[in-house]
Amino acid sequence: MSSVKHFSPRPNRPRQPRWIWAIFVALLISSCAFGAGFLYNYPPINWRITVLTARMRDILNPPPKTIPTPSGPVRTQATFVIDPSTPTPAPTLPPQVTATKGAPTETAAPTLPPSPTISALTPSGFLPTAPPLVTGELPRIVKLKGARQEYQLFNNCGPATLTADLTYWGWKGTEPDVPGKDVRWQKEIAGVLKPVQRDYNVMAYELASYATDYAGLNAAIRYGGDVDTIRLFVANGIPVIIERGFREAEHQQPGQGWEGHYSVVTGYDDDSRAFLTQDSF
C-alpha cells in the first residue's frame, strides 16, 4: 500500500519596501563617514596619518640629495649690534641776515636739540622700567623670569613659542588661560598665523607681524646671528626666538631626520656652556 505525501506551499513572507533598505544603507554610510572624520581629526591619529603621508611622498618623489648653492659670490649684509652711542649733536644753522630800516643785524637761528641716545628695545606699557643696557663684559649667568613653558599642539611650535615669549612682556590673550591646563592663547595665535591646519610652516616674519599687529610690541628679524649676539640680547632682558634645526635624537621620530623648529632663549650659563630655552616640544 503506497502512502501519499501532501506538501503545502510555504507562506510567502512580505518583502520589505525598498525605501527601508535605502534608509538603512544611507545611515550606514553616514555613520562610517562620521566615524572616519572624527578619527581623522583626532590629534593622535591625525598626526600619524600626516607623517605616513609625508613618508609616502618622499618615497614616490624623493628630495634631492644635494642642496643647490649659488655659483657666484654672495653679498653679505651688515650685522647689527647694540651700541649705546653718545648723543650726536645736530648741526647749528648759520645765522640769517634780516633787512630793517636801521643798520642790518644778524639773528641766530635756534639750535636743534641733540638726538636721543639708543636704548634697549623695551615695549611701553608692559614692563615698569627699562632694564639697564649692558654692552661691556656680560654676566656669566643670566636667567630671565616671566616666559612660561608652553607645550605645543601637533606641528604648532611657532604659535606655542610666540605664546611663551609674549607672556614675558605681559601679553594676555582675549580669554583667560591657565598654563599647563589649556592652550587657548596658543590656539588664538595659531588661528591668525595658520588658520588652515595643513599649514605646516610659519615664517619668522609672521611671528614678528603678530607681535606688532596684535600684541602691540616691537619686533626685529635678523639673520646670521651667533652665540655672542644672543647672549648680548638676553643679558639686556630681551628673549630671542631662534629658528633652528630639530634633530632626530630630539624629536625621537625614527626616519624623519632633520626638521625645522622654533625655540625662545631666556637665559644662558657660560660656566656650563649652555642656553636656557622655553622649548615647546
Q: What is the mean pLDDT of the chain?
A: 70
- Sign of the alpha-carbon torsion through 144, 269, 242, 154: negative
**What integer is the mean pLDDT of 2-12?**
58
Residue 118 pLDDT? 32
Residue type, 186: Q
pLDDT in tens, 47-72: 667 667 766 776 777 766 665 565 65
Does 94 have pLDDT greater than 50? no
CA distance 219 to 124: 13
Half-sphere exposure of 205 (CA within 13 A, CB side): 1
Question: In the structure grid, which three cell numbers stand for residue 232, read together?
Answer: 648680548
Residue type, 14: P
**What integer is the mean pLDDT of 78-98?**
46
SS3 category, 184: helix
